[in-house]
Chain A
Amino acid sequence: MSVTGEVFQFVPPRVPPVATEGVLPWLRRNLFSDLWNTLGTLVILGLLVTCVPPLVEWAVLNAVARADNAACRALGHAGACWGVVAEKYRLILFGRYPYEEQWRPLVATALMISLLAASCYRPFWKRWLIALWLVVLVVFFTLMFGGVFGLTFVETARWGGFPLTIMLSTIGLVTAFPLSIAVALGRRSRMPGIRTLCVLYVELIRGVPLISVLFMASFMFPLFMPAGMTIDVLLRVQVGITLFSAAYLAEVVRGGLQALPRGQVEAAQSLGLTYWQTTRKIVLPQSLRIVVPAIMNTFIGTFKDTSLVTIVSLYDLTGALQLALGDSDWRKFFLEGQLFVAAIYFVCCFAMSRYSRWIEQHLNTGTRRD
């Protein structure tokens, strides 16, 4: 001790006296740490034991995978009839698009999904990506519409299924995102006119259900058009979805703008950066990264909300399923059909959610202290 005049010595680090790593300590710490935790673990185990075997039996062991209507009917409730999917998958996936031409929406959608995936990768965030998007959009609509290069013309009323879902949500979000940034910035503008306009837009759209927006786009809008002039219903619905999700996104983006410390803008201003330079280089990169989870939440919401277009007679993935189940032979097996469609939605949404977590970590360079 220093009182006795000894020189101070640092204690060298040593290993912990009890094991803190490995399977058993992990189980004890996470699943059986106290009475309530142990009880919870047991209840969940019990539920798994009672539910999983019957589910596997129904969905796999007793199921009929062939498009064999008689075999399916013979099953009763003992097993799943995946035959409905085997029989109807083209109708579910592509809706009323002409059967022989369905390779066109297939190629178009595959192209768009590939580009979506590529756009997720940060090193590709260059100017040429925008050009590529324009090219792919042109190819997408050329394939879908036809009427050129010997492709037969297919009117938008016959578009449907998964391509329609992907188109409505992708184009909706890609256009809604920049619009939402503009509106969010506008709400914080010093100019009262712009500010009021942006507040009005957000509050009006947010105050109305998407169904009403779609109804208005589909049925009311034409009433106000000059006689003889029509705008394609699909375009109107697309604009409706864009405006709707932009209003929600704008509020998310505004949250990010408000979370940014005032000092960041002041530092940029004191360096002589203009408003737009500050916004582009300092404010948006930081604000948007703060709200990545909330943005992705809105994206996923919009993706699923596109299923509401069925009420204005557009047959997206869910709408096409209803078409398929219109066949009285197979109507009985709606549950299997619904599960198939749900699985497609889940894969897409889960991919978005995983990407959100990945991009969050990749954008976090600098804000972590390691």
Chain B
Amino acid sequence: MQASAPIIEFSRVSKWYGQFHVLRDIDLDVARGERIVICGPSGSGKSTLIRCINGLEEYQDGVLKVDGVEVTDDLKAIEAIRRQVGMVFQQFNLFPHLTVLENLTLAPMWVGRIPKREADERAMQQLVRVKIAEQAAKYPLQLSGGQQQRVAIARALCLTPKIMLFDEPTSALDPEMIKEVLDVMIELAGQGITMLCVTHEMGFARSVADRVIFMDQGQIVEQNTPAEFFSHPKSDRTKDFLSKILAH
């Protein structure tokens, strides 16, 4: 692979839930190190789009390649892709029966085959990075929402992924905790990792995104740099959406 080739390539990707056409002919190239924010009304297919990238959702038509490997229903290929792709969920999805440290070392030890001592060291580095090292021995449910989400980010980073997917990472958080999670994400954005983030945090989009994508009804309606996207939205649908979320 040459360095300039896109790390993620969607070509005419379509997905259906039964008869419902949820993703319609998606074409999207993501460059290495690019930071993309995806927004749009609920049900517009934005979560489904990023969940296709690591095979959590299957698509029925078109071609999707991640780092040159096609995402198919071949489990081996998907598992290889998942090792390159970290994901952070709206509901954190930490493993409640494992301590914070065990949450972080599970995949490195079982997927990466790294000895426990080394996995522990790496995990602690990531916990320091998300500023939560002192909670390593606790169980997830003993932490606040913001702390849990930071642990989830650290967990995804432990496999040193090339791509990070964020599926509405701050939507389930109390307002007081959103900032601590966004701060971690902003720090991460400065490290050159490829990021795709489904969020309505427009301040975050403005400060870190290279590109903002607006989706509606399973299609990419508009995409642009944040400066252009917010100041000169082209389509009426985008204007309407922005007027609603930026009204306050």
Contacts from A to B (Cβ < 8 Å): 261, 263-264, 266-275, 277, 281-282, 285-286, 289, 365-370
Contacts and interface: CB of A to CB of B under 8 A. Distances in A.
Contacts of B213: none
Nearest to A369: B141
Nearest to A289: B97
B96 A271 contact: no
Contacts of A367: 96-97, 139, 141
B106 A270 contact: no
Contacts of A267: 87, 89, 93-95
A261 B89 CA distance: 13
A289 B95 CA distance: 14
A270 B82 CA distance: 6
B13 to A, nearest CB: 19
Given A272-B107, A281-B110, A266 B89 contact: yes
Nearest to A266: B56
| Interface residue SS majority, chain A | helix
B99 interface: yes
B89 A365 contact: no
7 contacts: A269-B54, A272-B83, A272-B159, A277-B111, A289-B97, A365-B97, A367-B97
A285 B75 CA distance: 24
A369 B142 contact: yes
- Taking residues whose C-beta sits less than 8 angstroms from the other chain, chain B's interface range is 20 to 34
A277 B89 CA distance: 20
B79 interface: yes
Nearest to B81: A272
A309 B201 CA distance: 67
Given A263-B89, A277-B110, A285-B97, A269 B140 contact: no
A286 B56 contact: no
A361 to B, nearest CB: 14
B159 to A, nearest CB: 7
B155 interface: yes
A271 B156 CA distance: 7
Nearest to A264: B93
A267 B165 CA distance: 12
Contacts of A282: 95
Contacts of B195: none
A289 B82 CA distance: 28
Nearest to B91: A263
B54 A368 contact: no
Contacts of A285: 97
A366 B140 contact: yes
A275 B111 CA distance: 12
Nearest to B110: A277
A366 B98 contact: yes
Contact of B141 (A269, A272, A273, A366): A366
Contacts of A368: 141
A245 to B, nearest CB: 26
A369 B143 CA distance: 9
